[in-house]
Amino acid sequence: MTCFTCKKEVDPKIENQTFSNGTVHQRADCPDCGRFLKYMGDPEKADIINFGKYKDRTYREIAQEDPEYLKWLLSVTDKQKVKDLITKAFETR
């Protein structure tokens, strides 16, 4: 991840942050200058698909019930995070 303050690639410091509504997100900060880099979402919901006909289901559940859907999704997505989640779902089913 790039820190735009330090102008270099860093391995961010990750901590969970709970908001007033109870939502938890992982917060990434630069380990060198301490600047905020980005929120990374709820770690408990990292493997839940948030679009399409299987919205709000885990990739692992879909891999067990409809592996052809995930194979199709793998062939059409350009998002590396989605590809990684699909690969992991097939490995753990």
What pLDDT, in 10s, does the model give residues 18-73? 889 888 888 999 999 999 999 887 666 678 888 889 998 999 999 999 999 999 99
Is 0.75 surpassed by the pTM of this model?
no
- Say if residue 36 is in the same domain as residue 11: yes
Tokens 């600047």 label which residue?
35
Tokens 């997505």 label which residue?
77
Q: How many domains does the chain have?
A: 2
Domain coverage including residue 13: 2-43
Tokens of 34: 């301490």
Which of the four pLDDT bands, split at 50, 70 and 90, describes residue 81?
A: confident
- Say if residue 39 is in the same domain as residue 56: no
- Say if residue 53 is in the same domain as residue 87: yes
CA-based radius of gyration for the chain = 16
Could you write out the DSSP letters of every residue in 29-65? E-TTT--EEEE---GGGTTB--SGGGTTSBHHHHHHH
Task: Give the list of residues 6+ apart from residue 64 with CB closer than 8 angstroms, or none.
Answer: 93
